[in-house]
Amino acid sequence: MLRFLLVLLICAGGFFIIQSVYHPVNINLPKINKTIESKAPDAAAIALKQKATEAKAFAAAHQYNNSICFLVDMKIRSGQNRFFVYDLNKNKVLKSGVVTHGRCNERWLEGRRYGNEPGCGCTSLGRYRIGTPYNGRFGLAYKLYGLDSTNSNAFQRFVVLHSHACVPETEVYNEICQSDGCPTVAPGFLQQLKTYIDHSAKPVLLWIYESGE
């Protein structure tokens, strides 16, 4: 009987130790925001609305598609959805996905840095006209033409919209892979973007920016 009670106490004690060690880890894991609009308005959500308003005015003035545009907020963590297909008429996000940022020729870029010089390997902020599709090194890709002084060398730098298997189809907690400056998305998400681009009679505007700047 004494031996049975001793075993019971040891098992109970072991269970208590396991619970005290592992349970807090589970409950303390950061939760991922599924979309930018699933939480109270913050700097990123406010910037998204503002950029959409500016994008609609630009599209109307320059003969771009004024119904939809693509907005990318590089301030948002790379494992979180930060590439938004935005309905300019209904003023809402239609689809969102994960997208890379440039590593600026480093093995791994900590934080954010931007550039426009040929060979810099960085993301270039600014507005882009999405051009014609072609089959490149990574399959389907769309040429990009920079419309601002901050991204005027995009075409010369071979910065294009394409996909890569290293980019996840859904949000992840960890940071994702980095590119040499191209906004690179998941293969499945690129197929969704393809539908909007290919069925548009006018060029689609892509705007890469950083909220709070």
Selected residue with higher pLDDT from 3 and 130: 130
31-45 confidence digits (pLDDT tens): 344 444 434 348 899
Q: What percent of the chain has pLDDT over 70?
A: 80
Check residue 118 and give its pLDDT: 98
Q: Are 146 and 157 in contact (CB under 8 A)?
A: no
Selected residue with higher pLDDT from 142 and 34: 142
Q: Predicted confidence band at 63 (pLDDT cuts at 50, 70, 90)?
A: very high
C-beta atoms surrounding 95 within 10 Å: 18
* 159 has pLDDT over 80: yes
* 122 has pLDDT over 90: yes
* 209 has pLDDT over 80: yes
* 1 has pLDDT over 60: no
What is the rounded (10 degree) CA torsion for 156, 147, 102, 49? -170
Selected residue with higher pLDDT from 213 and 100: 100
Arch. (CATH architecture) of 43-209: Beta Barrel (2.40)
158 CB burial (10 A radius; 0-12, 13-18, 19+): middle
84-98 confidence digits (pLDDT tens): 999 999 999 999 999
* 105 has pLDDT over 70: yes
> What span, in angstroms and rounded, lies between the C-alpha atoms of 24 and 211?
33
- Average of per-residue pLDDT across 27-56: 67
Q: Are 167 and 175 in contact (CB under 8 A)?
A: no
Report the SS3 class of residue 42. Answer: coil
- Domain spans of the chain, in order of start: 43-209
Which of 38-52, 53-67, 179-193 shows the lowest mean pLDDT across its residues? 38-52
